[in-house]
Amino acid sequence: MRKWWPLVAICLGSFVLLLDVTIVNVALPRMARDFGASFSALQWVVDAYALALAAVLLVLGSVADLCGHRRVYLGGLVLFAAASAACAAAPDAAALVASRAVQGIGGAAMFATATALLTKTYAGRDRGVAFGYWGAVNGAGAAAGPLLGGLLTQHIGWQAIFLVNVPIVALTVGLTLRAVAPDGRQAAGAGRGGRRLDVPGAAAFTACAALLTFALIRGGGHGWTDGAALGAFGGAAAALLVFVLVERASGDPMLDLGLMRSPSFAGLMASAVLLQGAAFGPLVLVSMWLQSRSGSGLGLAPVPAGMALLPLSGVSFAVSAVAGRWIQRLPARWAIGVGLLVIAAGLLLMRHQLVPGAGRSALYAGFAVMGVGVGLATPVLASAAMAAVPPRRIGMAGGAVNTFRQLGMTLAIAAFTTGLHRVLAVAAGAAALGAVIALVLVRSARRAPGGVGPRSSVGGTAGADPQRVP
C-alpha cells in the first residue's frame, strides 16, 4: 500500500485543479449579485484562470525540468491554495479576477508536473495502473464540479467553492512531502547545461492572448467599433508578431513554430482550440440563463442549475473511462473528427429543444450527446499531437495541445456574450469546422512500438503508447 501514496498525492492535486475548471460556472450569478458585477466581469472570473493556465503551462514545464518536478509541484500547490483563499476573501470583482489569475498560475505548475512525477515514481505495470487511476480522477474532478459548486454555493455561499480547496491542498502538500521522492541534485543544477527559459516568448504569448480576450469581451459589450476594442485587437496582432519573431530567433523556444509546418500537428492544434471552445465556451451563458430571474431565464437555485450541467462532464468521464482503450485503437483523425461532429449534434439538439417555456430538461439530452463527443475526442488529442512531432519535441507537443485547449475555451467564453440560441449555433459551427480540419489534415494513425510515452517538460508522458501520425 505504501507505494501508492505518491499516486494519492498527485491525484489529489489534479482533482482540485480540474475541479476548479467546472465548479465556478454555477456560482457566477451569486457573484454577480454580491458584487453588482456586469456579465463581462463574470467572463473574466472564468477566463483569468484559463488564460493564466494557458499562458504559463509550457514555460513552467521547462522550469520543472530545470528546478525539479517535485519542487515546482509543491510550489504550485502552495500558490494555488493561497490564491484560493484570496478568491474567497475578494472584496470586489477586480480582486477576484486577479486572484483567479494567480490561481491559474499555480494550477499550471501542478498540471505541468503531475505526469512527470508519475513517470519517475512508477515503472512497468505499476505505471499503467497509476496512469489509469490518475486519468479517472481527472475525469471525476471535472464531473464533480457543477454539482459540488451548486451545493456549496446554495447552502454556504460562493466563497466556499474556493475555500474547499485549502484543506485538500494542505493534505496534498503533506502527502507530497512525505511520499514523493525528493528531486535529485541533477534537477537542481540542470540550468547549467545551457538551456534557458523563453521568458520573452511567454510574455509575448500572454500579451497576445490577454489582449485578444479583452478585445472580444469589450467588443461584445460595447460594439465592435469601440476604440478600446479596436486598440486591443491591434495590440494582440502586434504581440502575435513579436511572439513569432521571438520564437524564430530563440534557441530554446517556448513553441517551435516549425512544428506548424506539419499538417497533422497544425490540424490537431486547431481542433483542440475549436473542441474546447465549442464544448465549454457556452457554459457561462447557459449558467446565467439557468439562474436568471429576468427575461426567459429559469430562475433556478444553484443545485438544480448544477444538475443541469452535470450530463456534459459526467457522460464525457464515463465515455473516456469505458471506451478509452478502444478509442486509442482508432485512427486519430476519426476519433477526433467524429467526436467533434457529435459535439456539434449535441449543440444543435440543445438549440432545437430550447423553445419558449422550455425547462432545464431541454438541456439534458444535448449535454449528454456533447459528453459523448468530448469523451471520444479528448483522450486522443494529446497522444496524437505527441506522435506528430520528432521525439525531441514530444514534451513540447503535449504541452502545446493543453495550451491551445485552454486558449480555445478562454476565447470562446469571451466571444459568447449574448443570445443563447445564436451562441449554440455558432458553437455547433465551430465544432463542425474542427471536425473537417481533423478529418482533412490529421493523417491516419499507426501505433508505434514501445511502452509508455517519453518523459516531457510539460508533464512527462502521455500515459499510453503514443500513436504515430505520419
Residue 430 domain flag = yes
CA distance 394 to 455: 8
3-class secondary structure per residue, 223-257: CCCCHHHHHHHHHHHHHHHHHHHHHHHCCCCCCCH
Same domain for 231 and 277? no
Indicate whether 190 belongs to any domain.
Answer: no
Q: How many domains does the chain have?
A: 3
- Clarify whether residues 268 and 138 are in a common domain: no
- Looking at residue 453, the DSSP 8-state letter turns out to be P
* Residue 188: inside a domain: no
274 and 396 share one domain: yes
Kindly state whether residues 243 and 170 are assigned to the same domain. Answer: no
Q: Which domain holds residue 229?
A: 198-251
Whether 192 is in a domain gets the answer: no
Rounded Cα–Cα distance for residues 271 and 149 (Å): 29
Let me know whether 296 and 430 are in one domain: yes
pLDDT for the residue 144:
84
Question: In this structure, what CATH number is given to the domain that contains residue 164?
Answer: 1.20.1250.20
Residue ranges, the chain, pLDDT below 50: 186, 188-192, 445-470
Cell of 255: 513553441
Regarding whether 438 and 301 lie in a shared domain, the answer is yes
**271 shares its domain with 243:** no
- 95: cell is 480582486
What is the helix (H) or strand (E) element at residue 467, kind and residue range? strand 467-468
Same-domain status, 99 and 4:
yes
Flag whether 443 is in a domain: yes
Based on the fold, state whether residues 246 and 320 are members of the same structural domain: no
Residue 435, pLDDT score: 96
Closest alpha carbon to 54 in 459, 403, 457, 458: 403
246 plus 127 within the same structural domain: no
CB 17 within 8 A of CB 111: yes
Is there a single domain that holds both residue 288 and residue 235? no
pLDDT at 466: 29
Which pLDDT value is given to residue 195? 59
Considering the chain, what percentage of its residues have pLDDT values greater than 70? Answer: 90
Among 131, 154, 181, identify where a domain stops. Answer: 181
Comparing CA positions, the residue from 142, 137, 134 lying closest to residue 314 is 142
CB 16 within 8 A of CB 169: yes
The Cα diameter of the chain in Å comes to: 66
The pLDDT score that the predictor gives to residue 254 is 82
193 assigned to some structural domain? no
Does the CA dihedral 57-59-62-66 come out positive or negative?
Answer: negative
pLDDT per position as a tens digit, 162-212: 999 999 999 999 999 999 989 875 454 444 455 577 889 888 988 998 899
Return contacts of 219-225, CB within 8 angstroms, 24+ apart: 220/40, 220/414, 220/415, 220/417, 220/418, 221/38, 221/39, 221/40, 221/417
Q: Is residue 469 part of a domain?
A: no
Q: Assess whether 170 and 230 both reside in one domain.
A: no
CA distance 380 to 196: 31
Reported as a single tens digit per residue, the pLDDT across 359-390 is 778 889 999 999 999 988 887 887 788 788 88
Which of residues 147, 181, 215 is at a domain's end?
181
Is residue 189 situated within a structural domain?
no
Backbone dihedral angles phi then psi of residue 467, each to the nearest 5 degrees: -90, 145
The residue out of 128, 148, 181 marking a domain boundary is 181
